[in-house]
Amino acid sequence: MNIDHDLENAGFPPAGQVFPLAAHTLVVHDGDHPWVLENQAAIEENWAREVAANPALFNGRMVFQRRLSLVDDRIEGEAYLAPFATFLHWRRLARPAGGYHLFALPLPISSDGALIAIRMGAHTANPGRVYCAAGSMDENDVVSGRCDLDFNMRREVLEETGFDIATARADAQTYAVQSDNTVTVFRRFFFDLTAQEMLDRIAAHVAADPEPEIDGALAIRDSDPAAHDYPAFMPPLLTWLFDRKG
Protein backbone atom coordinates (compact mmCIF):
# COMPACT_ATOMS: atom_id res chain seq x y z
CA MET A 1 0.00 0.00 0.00
CA ASN A 2 1.17 3.51 -0.75
CA ILE A 3 1.82 4.89 2.72
CA ASP A 4 0.55 8.34 1.73
CA HIS A 5 -2.85 6.70 1.22
CA ASP A 6 -2.80 4.80 4.50
CA LEU A 7 -3.76 7.84 6.60
CA GLU A 8 -6.09 9.07 3.86
CA ASN A 9 -8.03 5.84 4.35
CA ALA A 10 -8.33 6.86 8.02
CA GLY A 11 -9.97 10.18 7.13
CA PHE A 12 -6.93 12.45 6.70
CA PRO A 13 -6.57 14.85 3.74
CA PRO A 14 -4.00 14.01 1.04
CA ALA A 15 -0.32 14.14 1.94
CA GLY A 16 1.05 17.68 2.21
CA GLN A 17 -2.35 19.37 2.56
CA VAL A 18 -2.58 21.55 5.68
CA PHE A 19 -5.91 21.31 7.51
CA PRO A 20 -7.40 22.93 10.64
CA LEU A 21 -7.60 20.78 13.74
CA ALA A 22 -10.44 21.18 16.23
CA ALA A 23 -9.23 18.76 18.91
CA HIS A 24 -7.31 15.58 19.57
CA THR A 25 -7.55 12.58 21.87
CA LEU A 26 -4.33 10.59 21.95
CA VAL A 27 -4.51 7.61 24.28
CA VAL A 28 -1.34 5.85 25.45
CA HIS A 29 -1.85 2.21 26.45
CA ASP A 30 0.24 0.15 28.84
CA GLY A 31 2.17 -2.79 27.46
CA ASP A 32 4.09 -3.29 24.23
CA HIS A 33 3.34 -1.90 20.81
CA PRO A 34 2.39 -4.81 18.50
CA TRP A 35 4.81 -3.58 15.81
CA VAL A 36 7.63 -3.74 18.35
CA LEU A 37 6.79 -7.31 19.27
CA GLU A 38 6.63 -8.33 15.61
CA ASN A 39 9.96 -6.71 14.74
CA GLN A 40 11.96 -7.00 17.97
CA ALA A 41 15.01 -8.80 16.54
CA ALA A 42 15.32 -6.46 13.55
CA ILE A 43 14.90 -3.41 15.81
CA GLU A 44 17.76 -4.58 18.02
CA GLU A 45 20.00 -5.36 15.03
CA ASN A 46 19.37 -1.94 13.53
CA TRP A 47 19.96 -0.23 16.87
CA ALA A 48 23.41 -1.85 17.08
CA ARG A 49 24.24 -0.38 13.68
CA GLU A 50 22.85 3.03 14.61
CA VAL A 51 24.85 3.25 17.84
CA ALA A 52 28.01 2.07 16.12
CA ALA A 53 27.64 4.99 13.71
CA ASN A 54 26.52 7.47 16.39
CA PRO A 55 27.39 6.50 19.99
CA ALA A 56 25.61 9.60 21.34
CA LEU A 57 22.16 8.17 20.58
CA PHE A 58 19.96 7.40 23.59
CA ASN A 59 17.39 4.62 23.55
CA GLY A 60 14.77 6.33 25.69
CA ARG A 61 11.05 5.60 25.49
CA MET A 62 8.89 7.64 23.12
CA VAL A 63 5.22 7.67 22.16
CA PHE A 64 4.72 5.54 19.04
CA GLN A 65 1.24 5.50 17.55
CA ARG A 66 -0.59 2.28 16.72
CA ARG A 67 -3.71 3.82 15.17
CA LEU A 68 -4.65 7.30 13.98
CA SER A 69 -7.87 8.59 12.46
CA LEU A 70 -9.45 11.95 11.67
CA VAL A 71 -13.16 12.48 12.25
CA ASP A 72 -14.79 15.94 12.07
CA ASP A 73 -11.40 17.69 12.33
CA ARG A 74 -10.58 15.68 15.46
CA ILE A 75 -7.60 13.34 15.62
CA GLU A 76 -8.14 10.11 17.54
CA GLY A 77 -5.09 8.02 18.33
CA GLU A 78 -3.91 4.99 20.24
CA ALA A 79 -0.26 4.61 21.12
CA TYR A 80 2.29 2.83 23.29
CA LEU A 81 5.60 3.87 24.80
CA ALA A 82 8.34 2.23 22.76
CA PRO A 83 12.15 2.40 22.66
CA PHE A 84 13.58 5.09 20.39
CA ALA A 85 15.27 2.22 18.54
CA THR A 86 11.80 1.31 17.29
CA PHE A 87 11.36 4.65 15.57
CA LEU A 88 14.79 4.53 13.93
CA HIS A 89 14.14 1.08 12.48
CA TRP A 90 10.63 2.06 11.35
CA ARG A 91 12.07 5.18 9.71
CA ARG A 92 14.78 3.17 7.98
CA LEU A 93 12.08 0.87 6.56
CA ALA A 94 10.38 3.94 5.00
CA ARG A 95 7.68 4.22 7.69
CA PRO A 96 5.49 1.18 7.00
CA ALA A 97 1.90 0.84 8.19
CA GLY A 98 1.50 -0.69 11.62
CA GLY A 99 3.24 2.23 13.28
CA TYR A 100 2.66 5.99 13.03
CA HIS A 101 4.50 9.05 14.26
CA LEU A 102 2.57 12.06 15.54
CA PHE A 103 4.41 15.05 16.97
CA ALA A 104 3.75 18.70 17.81
CA LEU A 105 5.63 21.52 16.08
CA PRO A 106 5.35 25.04 17.50
CA LEU A 107 6.11 27.75 14.92
CA PRO A 108 7.85 30.71 16.63
CA ILE A 109 7.22 33.93 14.67
CA SER A 110 9.33 37.03 15.29
CA SER A 111 7.90 40.54 15.43
CA ASP A 112 9.29 41.19 11.94
CA GLY A 113 7.60 38.13 10.42
CA ALA A 114 10.37 35.51 10.34
CA LEU A 115 9.97 31.88 11.29
CA ILE A 116 12.63 30.94 13.83
CA ALA A 117 14.05 27.47 13.18
CA ILE A 118 16.96 25.44 14.52
CA ARG A 119 19.64 23.25 12.96
CA MET A 120 20.11 19.92 14.72
CA GLY A 121 23.52 18.96 16.05
CA ALA A 122 25.77 16.42 14.39
CA HIS A 123 25.42 14.01 17.34
CA THR A 124 21.62 13.75 17.08
CA ALA A 125 19.41 11.39 15.07
CA ASN A 126 18.70 14.22 12.60
CA PRO A 127 22.13 15.79 12.02
CA GLY A 128 22.06 19.06 10.10
CA ARG A 129 18.30 19.02 9.58
CA VAL A 130 16.50 22.36 9.81
CA TYR A 131 13.06 22.66 11.39
CA CYS A 132 11.40 24.41 14.32
CA ALA A 133 12.38 23.31 17.82
CA ALA A 134 10.37 20.18 18.61
CA GLY A 135 10.69 16.58 19.61
CA SER A 136 8.85 13.28 19.77
CA MET A 137 6.62 12.85 22.79
CA ASP A 138 7.96 10.78 25.65
CA GLU A 139 6.65 9.61 29.01
CA ASN A 140 7.00 13.15 30.40
CA ASP A 141 4.30 14.24 27.95
CA VAL A 142 1.76 11.59 29.02
CA VAL A 143 -0.73 12.62 31.69
CA SER A 144 -3.37 10.16 32.94
CA GLY A 145 -2.91 8.02 29.84
CA ARG A 146 -3.26 10.91 27.37
CA CYS A 147 -0.69 12.83 25.32
CA ASP A 148 -0.30 16.49 26.32
CA LEU A 149 0.85 18.23 23.13
CA ASP A 150 0.92 21.68 24.72
CA PHE A 151 3.29 20.53 27.45
CA ASN A 152 5.47 18.77 24.89
CA MET A 153 5.78 21.90 22.76
CA ARG A 154 6.64 24.11 25.70
CA ARG A 155 9.18 21.63 27.07
CA GLU A 156 10.99 21.07 23.78
CA VAL A 157 11.25 24.76 22.83
CA LEU A 158 12.52 25.67 26.31
CA GLU A 159 15.12 22.91 26.30
CA GLU A 160 16.47 23.65 22.83
CA THR A 161 16.20 27.44 22.60
CA GLY A 162 15.61 28.85 26.09
CA PHE A 163 12.35 30.49 24.98
CA ASP A 164 9.09 29.87 26.83
CA ILE A 165 6.23 29.79 24.35
CA ALA A 166 3.86 30.52 27.25
CA THR A 167 5.12 34.11 27.05
CA ALA A 168 4.16 34.42 23.36
CA ARG A 169 0.77 35.12 21.81
CA ALA A 170 -0.54 31.78 20.61
CA ASP A 171 -2.59 31.46 17.45
CA ALA A 172 -6.16 30.52 18.30
CA GLN A 173 -6.16 27.81 15.62
CA THR A 174 -4.15 24.61 15.53
CA TYR A 175 -3.36 22.93 12.20
CA ALA A 176 -1.94 19.63 11.01
CA VAL A 177 -0.44 17.98 7.94
CA GLN A 178 0.35 14.35 7.15
CA SER A 179 2.74 12.43 4.92
CA ASP A 180 4.63 9.14 5.11
CA ASN A 181 2.52 7.85 8.02
CA THR A 182 3.58 10.88 10.04
CA VAL A 183 1.27 13.60 11.38
CA THR A 184 2.63 17.02 12.29
CA VAL A 185 0.38 19.11 14.55
CA PHE A 186 1.44 22.75 14.52
CA ARG A 187 0.53 26.16 15.87
CA ARG A 188 1.99 29.65 15.53
CA PHE A 189 3.43 31.54 18.52
CA PHE A 190 4.05 35.25 18.05
CA PHE A 191 6.92 36.88 19.96
CA ASP A 192 7.48 40.59 20.59
CA LEU A 193 11.12 40.33 19.55
CA THR A 194 12.81 40.76 16.17
CA ALA A 195 14.37 37.78 14.45
CA GLN A 196 17.86 38.98 15.30
CA GLU A 197 16.96 39.44 18.96
CA MET A 198 15.58 35.90 19.08
CA LEU A 199 18.62 34.46 17.30
CA ASP A 200 20.97 36.25 19.71
CA ARG A 201 19.14 34.85 22.73
CA ILE A 202 19.16 31.33 21.32
CA ALA A 203 22.89 31.60 20.58
CA ALA A 204 23.51 32.56 24.21
CA HIS A 205 21.38 29.65 25.39
CA VAL A 206 23.28 27.17 23.21
CA ALA A 207 26.63 28.57 24.35
CA ALA A 208 25.65 28.08 28.01
CA ASP A 209 24.36 24.52 27.51
CA PRO A 210 27.08 21.88 28.15
CA GLU A 211 25.24 19.38 25.91
CA PRO A 212 23.16 21.33 23.37
CA GLU A 213 20.97 19.40 20.94
CA ILE A 214 21.20 22.11 18.30
CA ASP A 215 24.04 23.79 16.43
CA GLY A 216 22.19 27.10 16.27
CA ALA A 217 19.13 28.93 15.00
CA LEU A 218 18.16 30.74 11.83
CA ALA A 219 15.42 33.01 10.54
CA ILE A 220 13.34 31.76 7.59
CA ARG A 221 11.47 34.30 5.47
CA ASP A 222 10.34 32.35 2.39
CA SER A 223 9.08 28.96 1.30
CA ASP A 224 12.05 27.84 -0.83
CA PRO A 225 12.24 24.08 -0.09
CA ALA A 226 15.88 23.92 -1.19
CA ALA A 227 17.13 26.73 1.05
CA HIS A 228 18.06 24.34 3.86
CA ASP A 229 18.15 20.63 4.67
CA TYR A 230 14.48 20.39 5.58
CA PRO A 231 12.68 17.18 6.59
CA ALA A 232 9.63 16.29 4.49
CA PHE A 233 7.10 17.95 6.78
CA MET A 234 8.64 21.44 6.52
CA PRO A 235 8.02 22.51 2.87
CA PRO A 236 4.19 22.24 3.11
CA LEU A 237 4.26 24.30 6.31
CA LEU A 238 6.47 26.95 4.71
CA THR A 239 4.19 27.17 1.68
CA TRP A 240 1.17 27.53 3.98
CA LEU A 241 2.94 30.14 6.11
CA PHE A 242 4.47 32.34 3.43
CA ASP A 243 2.55 31.74 0.18
CA ARG A 244 -1.11 31.33 1.08
CA LYS A 245 -3.59 34.07 0.27
CA GLY A 246 -5.47 35.91 3.00
pLDDT at position 2 is 55
CA-to-CA distance for 223 and 198, rounded, in angstroms? 20
pTM: predicted TM-score of the whole model, two decimal places: 0.96
Radius of gyration over alpha carbons of the chain, in Å? Answer: 18
pLDDT, one tens digit per residue, over 119-165 is 999 999 999 999 999 999 999 999 999 999 999 999 999 999 999 99
pLDDT, one tens digit per residue, over 76-108 is 999 999 999 999 999 999 999 999 999 999 999
Query: How large is the average pLDDT for residues 167-183?
Result: 97
pLDDT, one tens digit per residue, over 201-212 is 999 999 999 999
**pLDDT at 198 > cutoff 50:** yes
What phi-psi label fits residue 238: left (phi over 0), alpha (psi between -120 and 50 degrees) or beta? Answer: alpha
- pLDDT mean across residues, the chain: 96
**pLDDT at 14 > cutoff 70:** yes
pLDDT at position 244 is 82
What interhelical angle do 40-53 and 84-92 show, nearest 10?
90
pLDDT, one tens digit per residue, over 44-74 is 999 999 999 999 999 999 999 999 999 999 9
138 secondary structure, DSSP code: B
**Percent of the chain having pLDDT more than 70?**
97
**pLDDT at 246 > cutoff 60:** no
What is the Cβ-side half-sphere exposure of residue 186, based on CA atoms within 13 angstroms?
27
pLDDT at position 116 is 98
- Of 112, 195, 200, 189, whose CA–CA distance to 156 is shortest? 189
